[in-house]
A and B are shown apart, each in its own frame.
Chain A
Amino acid sequence: MNYPIWQLDAFGGGLFIAVIAIFHVYVSHFAVGGGLFLVLTEMKGLREGSAEILAYTRRHTKFFLLLTMVFGGLTGVGIWLTIALLSPAATSKLIHIFVFGWAVDWVFFLVEIISLLLYYYTFERLEPKKHLLLGWIYFISALMSLFVINGIIDFMLTPGEWLTDNNFWSGFFNPTFWPALFFRTFMALMIAGLFGFLTSVNIKDTTLRHNMVRYCGIWLLAPLVLLLASALWYKAALPAPQQEMIFLVAPEMKPFLGLFIWLSPLIFAGGLGMAILRPQNVQRPLAWLLLLLGFVQLGCFEFIREGGRRPYIIHDYMYSTSILKADLAETRKNGVLASARWIHNRTITPENRMEAGKELLNLLCLPCHSLGGPLNDILPVARRFSPAGMRSFLATMDTTSPYMPPFAGNREEMAVLADYLTTHLTQGTGDNPVRIRPETLVPAAFNGETDEYLILATTDMGMVLSSEPEFSGIDFSFAPPTLRAQVIERGEVPAVLGKEVQVSYRVKTDQETLTGTMTAAGSAFEATLPKMPAVSSDFRPYVLAEISASKNGRIIAATKLKIGISTTLGCRNCHGGPWRQEGKTGLSRETAANILAAHDQRSKTRLSRAFADGAIITCRDCHADSSRDSQGLSERLNLSAAIHGFHAAYIDHTDPNTNSCDFCHGNNPHGATGKLEDLHGGLGLDCANCHGTMTDHSISLLKEEKQARIPHGGKLLALIAPKASLPVQAIKGRSPWVMQPDCLTCHQDFRPPETDSAFNSWTQDRQGLYAHRHSMDGVLLCTSCHGAPHSLYPADNPHSKEAGNLQPLQYQKNHYPIGADQGCAVCHTVAMEEEMHHPGSLGTFRNRVE
């Protein structure tokens, strides 16, 4: 915000600091532990009267001096210069808060240099007592140097009381100061042993070499135990947020944590091996290997420590973007482009959107990410998203990926950055609007004058989603549709026929044909399709079914029925990958693989491996799906709660440019499936009017799971609760597929609605669902006259004006519900005067279409 950004492209993402810091830290720890090693080794030589040991000490000192004073000293300055280039604001803070701490450290540095030079150059020329005194002065100054730097480094991780009192001493003696000091000291002693191996294995005299290698082994092994103990102390001293970040939240920490732990026994075994394996040609490579392992272990620790302060650079004070926590509200309000200093495009115009996007990238992404580099490369991440997906990610990244800071800009900047990342910097998964070519469908024939029978048929769902497991390799499709048909014998008092007739269906596409008979169930015939029908190669979001009724072997009635099936799943908005079919719809294996990889990472599963071996991953095997009577695993969230609950955190339901439900369910008006055809969509209502926002909807599902004590229900609930439009307590829990919005919430007593929100008023059981309910006379299914859920007449399917209204067109030559506008003649042969089916059923249909 305050400073220009050094645009490093591939060399960004902390590459420079990682390279310089790890080498420096290793050598600088050697500079501390090695100092004590020199003194004690010289004392050993004197004690044993061994000129050889003293000669070895002198040779080791020369090596020590050339490595620590030259390389260690310079890389220390290098770190200073590097952090000032990469995070000048944070560096300025550290300099100004701890200026006299740094100055004290310099004094110790000066004493170190002088004492070390004198120690080396007065070997054998100064009486031992005085010479040793120089060595002790060196070691103590080096240790004090560590003491000072340790306070400043750990301040960044745990600033403690400094956050409130801004006192030098509070910041310096912060909560992890002492454990970190002990940890680093033991690490320094270990490293002294490792470097000791390196020089002692070159001793020519065999006896002396063995003696010194064993001696170095003690240096390595004794502190190793204490190191692990101090690591536990360090962990215990970490405040909860930092602990969670390291051990629970940040996924990339896990390999480093694992490596750090596993390297300890390896180094221990290596240390023992050095003592046991005597041949020099074994010891030499082993010494180098151990040195490398020590290097990796310290590198792991530093990476973990650095990661623990995320998303801050100074915990709870300054974000990694160098934006102060206290300034965030203001930048979110006014925008970062208006607040930052080194900005060319202060206002966004249609002409400068991408230039402004680049500046936002510089300010908000480049502090941590590289562009195509080996560390924290942003390109593969950006490539996975559509602009809308990226907008949602940016809006929610601080909760879903807590190692990232909150987006600091305003909503317009968020949109611009998302566009820049996914359309300019990379070609993300965004699509151009799909051009739909409407088709004309011909309803089945019906002669109102002569036909004695008719069929009113629908499905239990106006639109089902199919993940096409045979192609994608992952199955989270809705249950295959259930067809329902009522066969009516026309007359003065029409009769709904039952077992006296046989009803069959035939579903045909260019991919397959499904046929079967329907079973009488109450006043209707039912058949659940044996499988999800395959969509046609020329994608339409439906397949057509032909239903026919026969009596005594003679067909007495027939109709056509649209079965809505969408494969336009929006997973690739965030999970990347191409479309499977025609570049516009269908879940590809690549997208599925990314989903499973994310699942494996988050939930510690191994689905990717099975997927790669050719298995179809069926989500309901673990996550119960009541629409298919699948029990899943008892400790797992049900599928609906899991999918909605998890993704609610990631999806910004307040984004004015996106309907959060279309994000996944495929009813994006510009997509291959197109907008939801239901009558209510045409009236300006969307999913949230009945189901609640994505967040509220998810909370209702999660609450039920939490009450059932399913692990993770409460955790996800807590994550999304702040985004709810109602207090969480006020949202009623519900079971998926059973407890759904009730039409009568708005249409009280079947009257025109006085509200447009049906959220939070659920049906109590399956029989209460619209798809199962009957008219007041108990004869007709609601769906028989009004159409399937989400496909109510007059439906407006962008692929075909007729598709959603095949039966109204067949029986009434219009798009309206069966019997609308006093159209009783569809079934009745005489005019009706009583509203038998429901109040208002004899009225004129209100929502006219052109």
Chain B
Amino acid sequence: MNPASLIPAPDPLQVPWGWFQVLLSITFLLHLLVMNIMIGWSIIACVNHIFKLPRAEENQLISKKLPFTIAFAINFGVPPLLFLQVLYGHLMYTSSVLMAVFWLSIVLLLLLAYYGAYIYKLQFTRIPGLHSLLTSFIAILFLAIAFFFTNNTSLMVSPESWPRYFDEPNGLLVNFADPTLIPRYLHSVFASVAVGGLALGLYYDWKKRHGDLAADARIIPAMNWFSYATILNFGIGTWYFGGLPTTIRTVTGTASAFTLFFLLSGIGAAILSVIYGLQRRVRQTAFAALAAIICMVAVRELVRRQTLAPWFSTSELQVVPQYSPLLLFLAVFAAGLALVWYMIKLVRPAHNPATNPVDSEVQS
């Protein structure tokens, strides 16, 4: 069976695809950062508790903030999922159906993890004996969800694996035929640990700059998480890269050249971030890491486009112009950001380290 015959016909767009691509990339970057912190923190807390590392303050901080990161990881996940569906919906709906059981289970797993995180936060001081179990539970759920996402994005760009549906129509497909599936997943997981560590580092750096003398010592393990996870990711990234099709790995056109450019830039920024990280220069590490992540998001987009090139390109999408809804969105988005800024300003005097309501809430 020719997989091309299975690719559904896409629906037309209201504005040219470039708009959606920009919105997708920006919102995905935001989601990626928060989601990495969320997963990374759950793993770090889990390791801390299991190995009984002396990181009580770090664990308590994670317990306080983890529910917020989940809330924002979900919220920031909405727009990239939306814009992805606009551009690649016909591929993504298909891949989702092929692995429907796993895909739908994400809702339940996330719900359990979310409430688990709230228990971890609200009952932190009351159930110390359950910390290992609870954080393992949360981390395993997140790791499972991450694997399902990786599987979906792999299936989405692999129409050649779609005919397997005819033997397995019950939504249980895992794309093990894709040699990048496992390294890609591990790459994301280690990146999460790195970003989670970096976020801790940034927090303690901020505390340090606001006079918290104990914060300095806490920066070291945080930056170790970042640096060693990133170092490991060089190896996993190489494995991942080796699994990509030859057409993508070799520079054969403009797209490949862009991919190579962003890839090398990303690697360069990542090396720099590791150097800074080992030197405990937190903010420099963060800038370099952010640059590396931006480059990797670009690489990710370009690799997807090149992988799909034999089957589909977003430039093929028909446009039936209708700009007023876009203008409405941009206006509401701007107003929403302004409102968020206003609210933060509104509460700022009430929210300082000395009288931090969140801290006192958790400690009460």
**A residues adjacent to B (C-beta < 8 A):** 2-8, 16, 20, 66, 69-71, 73-75, 77-78, 80-82, 84-85, 88-89, 91-93, 95-96, 98-104, 106-111, 113-115, 117-118, 121-123, 125-126, 130, 133-134, 137, 166-169, 341-342, 344, 362
Beyond A78-B107, A111-B340, A126-B347, is A85–B96 a contact (Cβ under 8 Å)? yes
Beyond A16-B104, A113-B75, is A7–B325 a contact (Cβ under 8 Å)? no
Can you identify 12 A-B contacts, CB atoms within 8 angstroms? Answer: A70-B114, A73-B71, A81-B106, A89-B8, A91-B89, A99-B86, A109-B75, A121-B358, A125-B357, A137-B343, A168-B14, A341-B5
Check B96 against A81 for contact (C-beta < 8 Å): yes
Q: How far is the CB of B91 from chain A (nearest CB, A)?
A: 11
Bound complex: CA A80 to CA B83 (Å) = 14
Besides A122-B347, A341-B8, 10 other A-B contacts (C-beta < 8 A): A8-B171, A77-B74, A82-B104, A88-B8, A96-B86, A99-B325, A103-B82, A113-B71, A125-B355, A341-B5
Contact for B111 among A3, A71, A118, CB less than 8 A = A71
Bound complex: CA A5 to CA B169 (Å) = 8
Check A74 against B350 for contact (C-beta < 8 Å): no
Verify if B9 is at the interface (C-beta below 8 Å from A).
yes
Check A69 against B71 for contact (C-beta < 8 Å): yes
Question: Which among B43-51, B295-303, B331-339 touches the partner chain?
Answer: B331-339
Check B333 against A107 for contact (C-beta < 8 Å): yes
Verify if B39 is at the interface (C-beta below 8 Å from A).
no
Verify if B213 is at the interface (C-beta below 8 Å from A).
no
Contact for B324 among A66, A75, A88, A169, CB less than 8 A = A169
Residues of A within 8 A of B82 (CB): 95, 99, 102-103, 106
Beyond A99-B86, A106-B82, A121-B357, is A3–B336 a contact (Cβ under 8 Å)? no
Check B13 against A96 for contact (C-beta < 8 Å): yes
Q: Which residue of A lies closest to B101 (CB)?
A: A6
Residues of B within 8 A of A123 (CB): 357
Q: How far is the CB of B265 from chain A (nearest CB, A)?
A: 30
Check A106 against B79 for contact (C-beta < 8 Å): yes
Contact for A110 among B93, B94, B336, B350, CB less than 8 A = B336
Check A133 against B346 for contact (C-beta < 8 Å): yes
Beyond A113-B71, A113-B75, A114-B343, is A99–B14 a contact (Cβ under 8 Å)? yes
Among residues 155 to 188 in chain B, which have CB atoms less than 8 Å away from a CB atom of chain A? Answer: 162, 165-166, 169-171
Bound complex: CA A80 to CA B89 (Å) = 13
Verify if B11 is at the interface (C-beta below 8 Å from A).
yes
Residues of A within 8 A of B355 (CB): 125
Q: How far is the CB of A620 from chain B (nearest CB, A)?
A: 52
Beyond A3-B97, A110-B336, is A118–B75 a contact (Cβ under 8 Å)? no
Q: How far is the CB of A467 from chain B (nearest CB, A)?
A: 45
Q: Which residue of A lies closest to B20 (CB)?
A: A99
Chain A contact residues, majority secondary structure: helix
Q: How far is the CB of A505 from chain B (nearest CB, A)?
A: 66
Residues of B within 8 A of A2 (CB): 8-9, 90
Q: Which residue of B lies closest to A84 (CB)?
A: B93
Check B97 against A85 for contact (C-beta < 8 Å): yes
Q: How far is the CB of A423 from chain B (nearest CB, A)?
A: 22
Check A107 against B336 for contact (C-beta < 8 Å): yes
Residues of B within 8 A of A137 (CB): 339, 343
Check B110 against A74 for contact (C-beta < 8 Å): yes
Bound complex: CA A85 to CA B169 (Å) = 13
Check A122 against B320 for contact (C-beta < 8 Å): no
**B residues adjacent to A (C-beta < 8 A):** 1, 5-14, 20, 23, 67-68, 71-72, 74-75, 77-79, 81-83, 85-86, 89-90, 93-94, 96-98, 100, 103-104, 106-107, 110-111, 114-115, 118, 162, 165-166, 169-171, 320, 322, 324-326, 328-329, 332-333, 335-336, 339-340, 343-344, 346-347, 350-351, 355, 357-358, 361
Residues of B within 8 A of A100 (CB): 14, 325-326, 328-329
Residues of B within 8 A of A78 (CB): 104, 107
Check A4 against B75 for contact (C-beta < 8 Å): no
Residues of A within 8 A of B97 (CB): 3-6, 85, 88
Bound complex: CA A110 to CA B87 (Å) = 23
Bound complex: CA A100 to CA B11 (Å) = 15
Q: How far is the CB of B183 from chain A (nearest CB, A)?
A: 26
Q: How far is the CB of B156 from chain A (nearest CB, A)?
A: 13
Check B111 against A70 for contact (C-beta < 8 Å): yes
Residues of B within 8 A of A85 (CB): 93, 96-97, 100, 103-104, 171
Residues of A within 8 A of B111 (CB): 70-71, 74-75
Check B93 against A92 for contact (C-beta < 8 Å): yes
Residues of A within 8 A of B12 (CB): 96
Residues of B within 8 A of A88 (CB): 8, 89, 93-94, 96-97
Contact for A344 among B11, B89, B162, B166, CB less than 8 A = B166
Bound complex: CA A16 to CA B105 (Å) = 11
Bound complex: CA A98 to CA B75 (Å) = 18
Which of the listed residues B10, B67, B93, B96 has the most CB atoms from chain A within 10 Å of its own CB? Answer: B93
Bound complex: CA A123 to CA B20 (Å) = 40
Check B100 against A6 for contact (C-beta < 8 Å): yes
Bound complex: CA A7 to CA B113 (Å) = 28
Q: Which residue of B lies closest to A167 (CB)?
A: B322
Contact for A114 among B93, B114, B340, CB less than 8 A = B340
Check A74 against B114 for contact (C-beta < 8 Å): yes
Residues of B within 8 A of A121 (CB): 357-358, 361
Residues of A within 8 A of B20 (CB): 99
Residues of B within 8 A of A71 (CB): 111
Bound complex: CA A362 to CA B19 (Å) = 37
Check B333 against A103 for contact (C-beta < 8 Å): yes
Q: How far is the CB of B39 from chain A (nearest CB, A)?
A: 17
Residues of B within 8 A of A113 (CB): 71-72, 75
Which of the listed residues A106, A117, A137 has the most CB atoms from chain B within 10 Å of its own CB? Answer: A106
Beyond A85-B104, A95-B89, A134-B343, is A73–B74 a contact (Cβ under 8 Å)? yes
Residues of A within 8 A of B104 (CB): 16, 78, 81-82, 85
Contact for A3 among B78, B94, B358, CB less than 8 A = B94
Q: How far is the CB of A461 from chain B (nearest CB, A)?
A: 54
Residues of B within 8 A of A80 (CB): 81
Q: How far is the CB of B144 from chain A (nearest CB, A)?
A: 15
Check A77 against B78 for contact (C-beta < 8 Å): yes
Check B6 against A342 for contact (C-beta < 8 Å): yes
Beyond A110-B336, A126-B347, is A7–B328 a contact (Cβ under 8 Å)? no
Residues of A within 8 A of B343 (CB): 114-115, 118, 134, 137
Bound complex: CA A73 to CA B107 (Å) = 10
Beyond A77-B78, A93-B11, A107-B332, is A4–B169 a contact (Cβ under 8 Å)? yes
Check B103 against A81 for contact (C-beta < 8 Å): yes
Bound complex: CA A122 to CA B357 (Å) = 7
Residues of B within 8 A of A134 (CB): 343, 346-347
Q: Which residue of A lies closest to B320 (CB)?
A: A166
Q: Which residue of A lies closest to B7 (CB)?
A: A341
Q: How far is the CB of B363 from chain A (nearest CB, A)?
A: 13
Q: Which residue of B lies closest to A342 (CB)?
A: B6
Which of the listed residues B5, B94, B328, B336 has the most CB atoms from chain A within 10 Å of its own CB? Answer: B336
Check B169 against A341 for contact (C-beta < 8 Å): no
Bound complex: CA A122 to CA B169 (Å) = 51
Contact for B6 among A92, A133, A169, A341, CB less than 8 A = A341
Residues of A within 8 A of B346 (CB): 118, 126, 130, 133-134
Q: Which residue of B lies closest to A82 (CB)?
A: B104
Q: Which residue of A lies closest to B162 (CB)?
A: A4
Beyond A4-B98, A125-B355, A341-B5, is A75–B115 a contact (Cβ under 8 Å)? no
Q: How far is the CB of A88 from chain B (nearest CB, A)?
A: 4
Residues of A within 8 A of B166 (CB): 344
Bound complex: CA A122 to CA B85 (Å) = 37
Bound complex: CA A16 to CA B107 (Å) = 12
Bound complex: CA A66 to CA B75 (Å) = 15
Q: Which residue of A lies closest to B90 (CB)?
A: A92
Residues of A within 8 A of B90 (CB): 2, 92
Q: Which residue of B lies closest to A362 (CB)?
A: B169
Leading 9 A-B pairs by shortest Cβ distance: A88-B93, A100-B325, A78-B107, A2-B8, A107-B336, A96-B11, A100-B329, A6-B100, A125-B350
